[in-house]
Structure 1
């Protein structure tokens, strides 16, 4: 008799299993397991929050940047430009006139006369012209 039971076909063995929750696919899994779209939306929200935080950090660094008399002006302008370039890469556009004005306004106290001279010029300077002017001063 045991041999007869062991020789039952596989479909008969499966259908003869008692219907218990552990043998059935969990219906709640369909509602509790995250769908790919939910995973995508969550990851996107996390990324956007990190990106916004990063942008705020870059803008903050740009606004709070201070030039000092102890370091080379060229070196400090390059450092400031690096921050500006990172901001541009992050998708925030900075007009060239704005960038030039920001650099002029951040010149150290010992450059007060030069800063005043640049601010009263009628024509706008490009970044390249400003760098050339600052290197000759």
Structure 2
């Protein structure tokens, strides 16, 4: 019966991951590893034993753990295309491999800009992530990069974001970067001018209040 269950599980092996549809591949891969009873190696730390430990049962447990982790790791590797396999085949454990893939691909999908940071610095962070993904063989065309950056703009940029959505078919990536930089420079300049005006108004108010008290 155990052999039948394993065979059935292998028939449900997910598609080869080449960089696209990471979330769907990850869900299918997790289900596949769960069916094979090795999914817990994605979160477990390796068992550790010292060289002078003479407990044979502990050494047996270590060997069993290493063997199962080896299987889990290779199930994942064999579900990657040749390019990604060549990049990740040197990762030592299943947990490290799983976390490396998630950090790389989920980071890009889940990245959201925040109002508390400069937009251009966050755009640079996105470009670094994209550069790393392209280096690994993932295909991310320029129109997709343009749309992704626009969609990730923070909430305080929502009106400018809506404006860019109407222009995105015309925009090249370099043009988008230029527009974002001009917009941010303008916002920064306006904020400084507003702050300066408020400080001058406050100073004037304090002066008038002081003069009134002296009368």
Q: Structure 1 length normalisation: TM-score?
A: 0.61
Question: Is there any run of 5+ residues in structure 2 with no aligned partner, and where?
Answer: 1-73, 78-87, 92-96, 184-215
Trace 1:17-56 onto structure 2 (pairs within 5 A): 47-48=88-89, 50=91, 53=98, 54-56=100-102
Residue 22 (structure 2) aligns with: none
Aligned to 1:103: 149
Does residue 124 of structure 2 align to residue 78 of structure 1? yes
Q: Identify the match of residue 130 of structure 1 among 171, 176, 184.
A: 176
**1:65 and 2:65 aligned:** no
Partners of 2:143 and 2:101 lie apart in 1 by 21
What's the secondary structure of 2:117's corresponding residue? coil
Q: Classify 1:125/1:134 alpha carbon distance in 2 versus 1 (closer, same or farther; 3 Å).
A: same
Partner deviation per Cα, 1:58-83 (whole Å, 9 max, x = no partner): 11000111101111111000001100
Separation in 1 of the partners of 2:111 and 2:170? 22
Aligned equivalents of 1:134, 1:123: Cα separation in 2: 16
* Matched-pair contact (CA < 8 Å) for 1:67–1:76: yes
Q: CA RMSD in A?
A: 2.5
Instruction: Verify the 8 A CA contact 1:96 1:127 in the aligned structure 2.
Output: yes
Considering Cα pairs closer than 8 Å and 6+ residues apart, tell me whether 1 or 2 has the greater RCO. Answer: 1
Q: Contact 1:97–1:124 at 8 Å: present in 2 too?
A: no
TM-score, normalisation: structure 2: 0.40
Check whether the contact 2:150–2:161 (CA below 8 A) recurs between aligned residues: yes
